[in-house]
Structure 1
Amino acid sequence: MANLQLRFLLVSLFTSIVGEAQYVMQDAALMHYIDRRFQSLENRLEKCNQDIMDYVEEFRDFSKRIISRLEGLNVYKTEFKNEVEHLLTRVERAQRDIDYFASGRDSDACVEVDEDLVEQQQIEEAEERRKIKLVLNASCDNMLTGIKSLKIVKKTGDAHGSWMKDPGKNHPKIYFLNRSKNNVILEFANIRAFMESSNMLATRRVILPTHWQGTGHVIYKGFLFYHRYGSLNEIIKYNIHKRNITDRMLLPGAGQMPAYELFPTTKIDLAIDEQGLWAIHAEPDIGGNLVITKINHHTMAVEYTWDTSCNSKNAEAAFMVCKTLYVVYNTPNGGTSRIECVYNVLDALNTYEVPVLHFPKRYGSHSMMHYNPREKEVFAWGDGSQIIYKLETNQKV
């Protein structure tokens, strides 16, 4: 009887142990299943997150490309509009000339009409000159008679570059723009700091968002005006203090050829005189002669344009003094710089005669010449040297 009870207890215990083992195995299998499911979900979530990141990056690249193309289209649209307006002006001029020459074959009655037309044209030209005088400061009537002295301030930087003061601001700061393609402006407190500085890296640096082209840039009333590298004829207006681009424009007809044959990197040469901002460039349509344009520095709009009689061949630089263009010529190998062509915008039809003006004897060449109307000096860059020329002027008779 005792043996029977013992067997019954052993069977019950064995059955209980086997049942618990089965439960443990089932729980383990369940946990393994849940773990695999979570692992699968985590993998899917990770892949989903990666897909989202890839999509965001692809969308950013796509947006950048679209914005870049839209900006390009906007520039092309403005350039096309300006070119069309410039072409229409030329067509109107040509049509007037054709009408005038065609009338010469008509009767005497028509000749009287032509005389009336000529008289009307003279009246219109006089009215146009009157308007120009109102825009320009008619009291500025001095002409350059000589170059008094030469001062080599410093010799630093590359063979080509530009340096200047801001004639529109009453401060002595010096701005140094090295090379004909760059985007870094160095700013010095005054000319003494510039002369004594031996470590250019320690000076205040202004980094432009785009590179400049050539050496024809100017600083006026706190803004840098420069020809943007890679563009045909885009001029940028950059706020030096706020460090941002505030405006831009396309200069009609410019950028097709160098402004000066001896320095082909400069396609647009900007200048400052007593009247404000000017642009100088050469056009192949008029035999490579220089064209000067008066620009409103506030609105970046063209006010007037003049085709000059000064040619870009063998020219190395030019500058404006009192609404008059002075073009400097040299030899391809470098020699004595001299002013051989002068053009005054108010005497556009009959430029007054002036003798050839030679710069102080210094063999070499200039890659930049800019007039400072506040100090009556020309800042120049010649073969890596920063130079100042003192000018002599007299009132035009």
Structure 2
Amino acid sequence: MAGIVLLTCALLSFATTITGQGQQVFLEYMQGRIGVLEERITQWHDQSSRYSSELREFKNKVLTLLENIEKERESLRNEMENTNVRVDRLEREVDYMETQNPAPPCVEVDEKLTELQNKKKKKYEKLTDCSDTISQVSAMKILKRFGSTSGLWTKDPVGNSEKVYIFDGVGNDTVFVFSRMKEFTLSSSSRKAAKIKLPFPWIGTGHVVYQGNLYYIRHEQDNEFQVIKFNLANKTVVDSAVLPIEEQVPVYGLSQFSYIDIVADEEGLWAIYATKENEKNICLAKIDPSNLGIEQMWDTPCPIENAESAFVVCGALYVVYNTKLPSRSRIQCVFDVSGTISSENVPIIYFPKRYGSHSSMKYNPKEKQIYAWDDGYQIIYKLTMKSKEDLD
């Protein structure tokens, strides 16, 4: 543009040397040429603006396409991972079923329903000679207040380990471990604890440490719950299984965050759960700790309503009840898998009044004590036992 101005100035200076008719013609010629140049400059400016606008639109379209492609790629990747997990679980369950069961007969029946019915009908064969039942709660000891209002704490009842395991909250992936009870009691925070990072987060407060392994509940898709067997020594997943239970509901009316409660007693491991099919009463299952298989199942008469926790002692399920406004918790329903005792011949057993309601109660068969979590307080209940034969 500056060059055109200089050229114009030079031509005008040249025009001053021309006189008369020639000067007028020259000026008209120059005005025409300058008009053509201005028109071309305007066209170039318009085309440049249009190209810039089209380039921006093209760039935005490309960015949008790239974002959509990335989202679709991530969605496909998640679907592939979920499919791989389900296929792997299905293959393991099929392998297990093939090794444990003979070829099915050629009849049109619901095999899963038949299997569950058989496990509920067969007589339970005790593994030990344990015949104790709870006589009373003889003492209560409040250790401290640690963590959230809901959680659980426990020890391994098998072996000589004194480690204390803390599960803070109803959904997390980090377990705090104290080397002994005194260290946990005197510690002011979790900084003195060792930490175990789990491969999957847990849900609820239905976990247990047994024979050096952690058995905990993982929530999967489609409202499925998986039991994870995690070795605490080498920090690896030993096994996992989805229990043959459909349409699960919270097992305790006052603790809606727990769908499966894995507990230990003198006989081994048990699963306390509830289903939509039998949503009014609690169910019980015996678990094989080696492979997480269900050995036997029972429908109990113990209602879910107002239940806050439960545990098993010598093959008998004790369900603890409360009210929505926290009061004294009490054992109000007992179900013995051997049929020796029932709620009718066991008196209601009250726990000492505390702060709120229990989010977990873990029975330790070695110590005959219950490790309870009550509104963030860690409590030990000492139990007094008597023989089932002494019941009236």
**TM-score of the superposed pair, with normalisation by structure 2:** 0.71
Q: Which residue of 2 aligns with 1:245?
A: 237
1:136 corresponds, among 113, 127, 136, to 127
Q: Which residue of 2 aligns with 1:7?
A: none
SS at match of 1:228: strand
Question: Quick one: which amino acid aligns to residue 373 of structure 2?
Answer: W
SS at match of 1:148: strand
Q: Which residue of 2 aligns with 1:274?
A: 266
After superposition, what is the alpha-carbon deviation per residue over 1:284-333, rounded to whole angstroms, capped at 9, x for unaligned? 32242111111110121111111111111110000001101000000012
1:225 corresponds, among 173, 196, 215, to 215
Q: In structure 2, how many angstroms separate the alpha carbons of the residues matched to 1:92 and 1:197?
A: 50
Question: Does residue 1:192 correspond to 2:182, yes or no?
Answer: yes
Q: Which residue of 1 aligns with 2:151?
A: 161
Shift of 1:233: 2.4
Q: Which residue of 2 aligns with 1:51?
A: none
1:145 corresponds, among 129, 135, 140, to 135
Q: In structure 2, how many angstroms separate the alpha carbons of the residues matched to 1:350 and 1:387?
A: 27
Tell me, yes or no, if the aligned pair for 1:153 and 1:195 is still in contact at 8 Å.
yes
Structure 2 vs 1, CA of residues 316 and 206 (structure 1 numbering), >3 Å: closer, same or farther?
same
Q: Which residue of 1 aligns with 2:318?
A: 326
Structure 2 vs 1, CA of residues 63 and 152 (structure 1 numbering), >3 Å: closer, same or farther?
same
Shift of 1:355: 0.8
Question: Quick one: which amino acid aligns to residue 186 of structure 1?
Answer: F
Tell me, yes or no, if the aligned pair for 2:318 and 2:335 is still in contact at 8 Å.
yes
> Which runs of no fewer than 5 residues in structure 2 stay unpaired?
1-71, 98-109
After superposition, what is the alpha-carbon deviation per residue over 1:148-170, rounded to whole angstroms, capped at 9, x for unaligned? 01101110100000101111121
Shift of 1:362: 2.2
Q: In structure 2, how many angstroms separate the alpha carbons of the residues matched to 1:297 and 1:183?
A: 22
Tell me, yes or no, if the aligned pair for 2:251 and 2:304 is still in contact at 8 Å.
yes
Tell me, yes or no, if the aligned pair for 2:264 and 2:363 is still in contact at 8 Å.
yes
Paired residues in the alignment total: 303
Question: Quick one: which amino acid aligns to residue 330 of structure 1?
Answer: N
Q: In structure 1, how many angstroms separate the alpha carbons of the residues matched to 2:171 and 2:340?
A: 34
Q: Which residue of 2 aligns with 1:301?
A: 293
Shift of 1:349: 9.9
Q: In structure 1, how many angstroms separate the alpha carbons of the residues matched to 2:118 and 2:156?
A: 40
Deviates more, 1:58-67 or 1:382-391: 58-67
Q: Which residue of 2 aligns with 1:86?
A: 112
Structure 2 vs 1, CA of residues 300 and 287 (structure 1 numbering), >3 Å: closer, same or farther?
closer
Taking only the aligned residue pairs, the percentage that are identical comes to 37
Question: Quick one: which amino acid aligns to residue 72 of structure 1?
Answer: R
After superposition, what is the alpha-carbon deviation per residue over 1:319-369, rounded to whole angstroms, capped at 9, x for unaligned? 001101000000012111000000000108966521110001225200000
Question: Does residue 1:265 correspond to 2:279, yes or no?
Answer: no
The 5 A counterparts of 1:1-12 are none
Question: Does residue 1:377 correspond to 2:369, yes or no?
Answer: yes
Q: In structure 1, how many angstroms separate the alpha carbons of the residues matched to 2:370 and 2:220?
A: 29
Q: In structure 2, how many angstroms separate the alpha carbons of the residues matched to 1:338 and 1:373?
A: 20
Tell me, yes or no, if the aligned pair for 2:310 and 2:320 is still in contact at 8 Å.
yes
Structure 2 vs 1, CA of residues 383 and 349 (structure 1 numbering), >3 Å: closer, same or farther?
closer
Q: Which residue of 2 aligns with 1:97?
A: none
The 5 A counterparts of 1:205-220 are 205-220=195-210
Question: Does residue 1:311 correspond to 2:303, yes or no?
Answer: yes
Q: In structure 2, how many angstroms separate the alpha carbons of the residues matched to 1:78 and 1:253?
A: 17
Q: Which residue of 2 aligns with 1:179?
A: 169
SS at match of 2:85: helix
The 5 A counterparts of 1:347-362 are 347=339, 353-362=345-354
Q: In structure 2, how many angstroms separate the alpha carbons of the residues matched to 1:170 and 1:349?
A: 32
SS at match of 1:285: coil
CA RMSD, Structure 1 to Structure 2 (Å)? 2.8
Q: In structure 1, how many angstroms separate the alpha carbons of the residues matched to 2:210 and 2:251?
A: 21
Tell me, yes or no, if the aligned pair for 1:233 and 1:255 is still in contact at 8 Å.
no
Q: Which residue of 2 aligns with 1:98?
A: none
Question: Does residue 1:73 correspond to 2:87, yes or no?
Answer: yes
Q: In structure 2, how many angstroms separate the alpha carbons of the residues matched to 1:365 and 1:293?
A: 25
